[in-house]
Structure 1
């Protein structure tokens, strides 16, 4: 840290004035570049980080929906292949009944 503090002291330049001046210029230019690219520019680091979080969130949502679709596909296959399961599903979900059945409605 001591060398870094000394670089800004122009009284210590001596024979290396040109070299130390260039180092100061390089440090300032690099700092400005990092600030401009990292925070001021439209495609800044903050937007990249937010986009990364959004992408991860969307990927998790895609996985959830894919799982849900697979479950629904298996349910559809079960309902279309077996008439008894389709009838049970219709009775449970929609309150359907065959003619002559006694239907009891229980309030929630």
Structure 2
């Protein structure tokens, strides 16, 4: 004897069969290609354009991501160029000042390279902390000359 749950299963399966039959009748005269793709997607020029754009964005040797990396590198190099041009001007100014003034040259040699006269001793006092025995770059140093 069939229970109410069996009747539900039978009626559900009958409904699914009827639904499938209905869709079969509706789609019998329809071409699958036309049903799956809209008309603009079946256009040769549209498909060609999409394939071209995809190729240029992802697969070409000069793809979008490579171009973006190259542009960032170019901007970085341009910033470095500006920095080095300023450094060159600063160094040329310093060189002109040192070549024209003997006292400035002597002071530069004493401060930068710790030169001393034969009859004196020089003590270097580092005012900032030292890291690993080496003074930090930009640390202020004081020279004490004893004659």
TM-score range relative to shorter protein: 0.7 to 0.9
Q: 1:83 matched to which residue of 2? A: 102
Q: TM-score, normalised by structure 2?
A: 0.55
CA distance in structure 2 between the aligned counterparts of 1:70 and 1:79, rounded to whole angstroms? 14
CA distance in structure 1 between the aligned counterparts of 2:41 and 2:55, rounded to whole angstroms? 21
Q: 2:21 matched to which residue of 1? A: none
1:95 is displaced (CA, Å) by 1.8
Please list every run of 5 or more consecutive structure 2 residues that lacks an aligned counterpart in the other structure: 1-32, 127-147
RMSD between superposed Cα atoms in Å: 2.2
CA distance in structure 2 between the aligned counterparts of 1:28 and 1:55, rounded to whole angstroms? 35
Q: TM-score, normalised by structure 1?
A: 0.72
After TM superposition, the runs of 4+ consecutive aligned structure 1 residues lying more than 6 A away are none
What pairs up with 1:1-80 in 2 under 5 angstroms?
A: 10=34, 20=39, 24-80=43-99
Q: 1:5 matched to which residue of 2? A: none
Please point out which of 88, 109, 116 is paired with 1:97: 116
Aligned residues: 91
Whichever structure has more strand as a proportion of its residues is 2
Which of the pair has the greater relative contact order for Cα pairs under 8 Å at 6+ separation?
A: 2
Residue by residue over 1:11-61, the C-alpha shift from the partner in whole angstroms, topping out at 9 and shown as x without a partner, is 5xxxxxxxx478633222211110011210111121111111110000000
Please list every run of 5 or more consecutive structure 1 residues that lacks an aligned counterpart in the other structure: 1-8, 12-19
Whichever structure has more helix as a proportion of its residues is 1
Pair member with larger Rg = 2
Secondary structure of the equivalent of 1:35?
helix
